[in-house]
């Protein structure tokens, strides 16, 4: 049997997760700095354990069971997203950094994608045509919580693309003309899996690359920009934990 046709029981047995023990949220993060990110994120959780599948960690925060996985790129992120969405995890949360296509967006701003152009190379196998939509209510909750923390946010039309490197100036100009706001490598795939299995998804992405200015991750940031990036990166995780707690409350209501 091909994996896309597996029933949920196969994943339950493989991960030793009984019915009713599904996490409140899956938190995914796309970054090269997997080791330091995982150490930082897991330090906020209690009773942490690695699941049978490597680099998928379970822990609790304020009584809510959370799965954290550092998964870079759509081809990797779709795997935990698929598994936990199929198990009925009510909320999938994508975190990471992104490139902005808005000439006025500042480093450290958090992008909250509404509509996502699904050009990641994976989403079409989950029934996606051209775009997916994050859950509007969870986007509003995330926006409110970030604003309460004095984090600048922006919502809009976002692009998920399969490669950080396969992006030319000509492509960026075309995306800007298309009115796309920002670009990452995971969001649309995670939303596609959530939609396929009938659960919710939200994405919070901190602006790093400034594509209209020709600035990539290789270019050094001014100290104040570096500090904003660091702060926002922490704030989105703290908000993700609050969203997980809310998902647990809603599930138990």
- Tell me, what's the pLDDT at 214? 76
Query: What integer pLDDT is reported at residue 19 of this predicted model?
Result: 87
Calculate the average pLDDT of the chain: 95
pLDDT of residue 9: 93
For the residues 87-109, what does the mean pLDDT come to?
Answer: 93
CB contact at 8 A, 34 and 44: no
User: What is the structure's pLDDT at 115?
Assistant: 98
Determine contact, residues 52/39, Cβ cutoff 8 Å. Answer: no
Q: pTM of the full predicted structure?
A: 0.96
3-state SS of 188-226?
A: HHHHHHHHHHCCEEEEEEEEEEEHHHCECCCCCCCHHHH
What average pLDDT does the segment 94-106 reach? 90
Helix orientation angle between 187-197 and 74-86, rounded to the nearest 10 degrees: 20
Residue 173 C-alpha from the chain's centroid: 25
Instruction: Kindly indicate the confidence band of residue 212, based on its pLDDT and cuts at 50, 70 and 90.
Output: confident
Could you read off the pLDDT of 57-80 as tens digits, one per residue?
999 999 999 999 999 999 999 999
With a cut of 90, say whether residue 213 has pLDDT above it: no
User: Percent of the chain, pLDDT > 90?
Assistant: 84
Per-residue confidence (pLDDT) for residue 210, from 0 to 100: 80
The H or E element spanning position 73 is none
**Does the domain spanning 3-252 belong to CATH 3.40.228.10?**
no
Retrieve residue 116's tokens: 């996502």
Over residues 5-34, the pLDDT tens digits come to: 999 999 999 998 888 889 999 999 999 999
SS3 21: coil
Is residue 152 within 8 Å of 173, Cβ to Cβ?
Answer: no
Tokens 């020709």 belong to: 214
Per-residue pLDDT tens digits for 150-182: 999 999 999 999 999 999 999 999 999 999 999
Helices (H), the chain: 8-15, 34-42, 74-86, 136-148, 169-177, 187-197, 223-252
Whole-number Å distance between alpha carbons of 50 and 56: 6
Per domain, the residue ranges of the chain are: 3-252
How do residues 220-250 score in pLDDT, each as one tens digit? 888 988 899 899 999 999 999 999 999 999 9
How many other β-carbons are positioned within 10 Å of the β-carbon of residue 82? 23
In the chain, count H helices and then E strands: 7, 10
Question: Under a CB-based contact definition with an 8 Å cutoff, are residues 155 and 109 in contact?
Answer: no
As a whole number, mean pLDDT of residues 70-97 equals 97
Q: Please give the pLDDT value at position 18.
A: 86
In this predicted structure, what is the pLDDT of residue 103? Answer: 82
For residue 59, give both structure tokens.
């822990």
Q: Which two tokens stand for residue 225?
A: 């920009």
User: Does the structure show a pLDDT above 90 at 141?
Assistant: yes
Contact 205, 182 (CB under 8 A): yes
Specify the pLDDT at position 225.
85
Model pLDDT, residue 226: 86
176, 100 Cβ separation under 8 angstroms: no
């Amino acid at each position: 049997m091909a994996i896309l046709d597996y029933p949920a029981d196969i994943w339950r047995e493989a991960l030793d997760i009984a019915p009713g023990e599904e996490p409140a949220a899956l938190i995914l993060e796309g970054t090269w700095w997997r080791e330091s990110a995982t150490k930082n994120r897991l330090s906020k959780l209690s009773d942490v354990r690695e699941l049978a599948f490597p680099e998928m960690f379970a822990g609790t925060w304020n009584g809510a069971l959370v799965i954290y996985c550092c998964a870079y790129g759509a081809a990797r992120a779709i795997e935990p997203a698929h598994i936990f969405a199929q198990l009925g995890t009510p909320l999938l949360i994508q975190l990471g950094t992104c490139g902005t296509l808005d000439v006025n967006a500042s480093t450290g701003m958090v992008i909250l994608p509404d509509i996502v152009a699904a050009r990641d190379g994976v989403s079409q196998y989950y029934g996606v045509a051209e775009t997916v939509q994050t859950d509007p209510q969870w986007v509003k909750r995330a926006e409110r919580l970030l604003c309460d923390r004095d984090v600048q946010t922006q919502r809009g039309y976002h692009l998920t693309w399969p490669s950080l490197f396969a992006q030319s100036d000509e492509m960026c100009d075309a995306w800007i003309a298309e009115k796309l706001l920002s670009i990452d490598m995971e969001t649309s795939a995670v939303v596609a899996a959530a939609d396929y299995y009938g659960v919710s998804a939200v994405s919070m992405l901190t602006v790093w690359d400034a594509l209209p200015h020709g600035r990539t991750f290789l270019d050094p940031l001014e100290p104040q920009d570096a500090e904003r990036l660091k702060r926002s990166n922490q704030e989105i995780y703290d908000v993700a934990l609050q969203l997980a707690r809310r998902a647990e409350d809603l599930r138990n209501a």
